[in-house]
Structure 1
Amino acid sequence: MTITKLRPGAGKPRRSQVPVGESLCEHCTAKCCQYFALPIDVPDSRRDFDFIRWYLLHDRASVFVDGGDWYLLVHTTCKHLQADNRCGIYETRPQICRDYTTDNCEYEDDWVYEKYFESPEQIAEYCDARFGPDSGQGFRSPRPTALPLA
């Protein structure tokens, strides 16, 4: 099967349509260079969930669960990713980049996580569902007092 380079905006071929020996990176949007994920301890207490809540209070952070493992996901683009989605320091790139392969990469963009949290409210609700409502202050601000009726 032969495939010609696609026009911009024409979409990209499925993984199975890319000829053997040709790099998926030729057709990709460099998703792998636009975030990083770090494993975090599996939360097992309200205090652990409060730490995750703190992560989610930061811009461009989310948390996901995959295979029972929890990860902090930071949505940020590598400083050396060029406009054509190529690495600007390819010859001197870090070892983690050298070790990365396209064998199981997210090329198809159809990845689904077991759990995905993007806001502190989502993690608070999950924590409440797991442990029951918090008898103390908890994650949320106290409910404002009602205004007197006139």
Structure 2
Amino acid sequence: MTTALPIKPRRSQVADVANLCEYCTAKCCRYFALPIDEPDCRKDFDYIRWYLLHDRASVFVDEGDWYLLVHTTCKHLQDDHRCGIYETRPQICRDYTTDGCEYEDDWVYEKYFETPEQIAEYCDARFGPEPGQGVRSRKPTGLPMV
């Protein structure tokens, strides 16, 4: 017999005086995002394509700003979703508040890229095909003869 997991309340259902983190699974401790320059040429998009060739990396745009998102869990996140170094945590963690956090699971971005193919396709849509390339995909390689 399996035990049902408790339902996480919506932000609006949590009292203003309550600690929102008490109801969360520490989503904010499972990634970090670094601002990157908005790409404005094919070379910039090629760098982003390189980022996306690495495991657990994605790129998103929020309010016009571009970010590299690295999906990795903090080494000090404990099984109970609490910080193992709370008293000595870095300043960036101390400054973080739940005011605009991603507590709700329905967070969306203006643009979100997970694969190098997605960013290449977006680049081609923005700039058109590269010189010498048609608008069609390359001819696929044939299957080997057996």
* Count of residues in Structure 1 that have an aligned counterpart in Structure 2: 138
Aligned residue runs from structure 1 range 28-43, under 5 A: 28-43=24-39
**Residue in 1 that maps onto 2:23:** 27
What is the 5 A alignment of 1:1-150?
A: 9-135=5-131, 143=139
Which runs of at least 4 in structure 1 moved beyond 3 Å after TM superposition? 141-147
What secondary structure sits across from 1:70 in the alignment?
strand
Aligned to 1:3: none
Unaligned ranges ≥5, structure 1 = 1-6
Cα-to-partner distance string for 1:78-125 (whole Å, 9 max, x where unaligned): 000000000000000000000000011100111110000000000000
Q: Which amino acid aligns with 1:90?
A: Y
When normalised by structure 2's length, the TM-score is 0.88
State the alpha-carbon separation in 2 of the partners of residues 144 and 108 from structure 1: 42
The 1-side partners of 2:139 and 2:131 are apart by 14
Distance 1:58 1:40 in 2: 16
1:23-61 Cα shifts (integer Å, max 9, x gaps): 000000100000000000000000000000000000000
The 1:136–1:72 alpha-carbon spacing in structure 2 relative to 1, beyond 3 Å, is: farther
Shift of 1:10: 2.0
Range 102-111 or range 128-137, more displaced: 128-137
Measure, in 1, the Cα distance between the counterparts of 2:51 and 2:93: 25
SS of equivalent to 2:118:
helix
Report the AA paired with residue 126 of structure 1: Y
Matches of 1:95 and 1:46 in 2, distance apart? Answer: 36
RMSD, aligned α-carbons: 2.0
Query: In 2 relative to 1, CA 144–112 (structure 1 residues): closer, same or farther, beyond 3 Å?
Result: closer
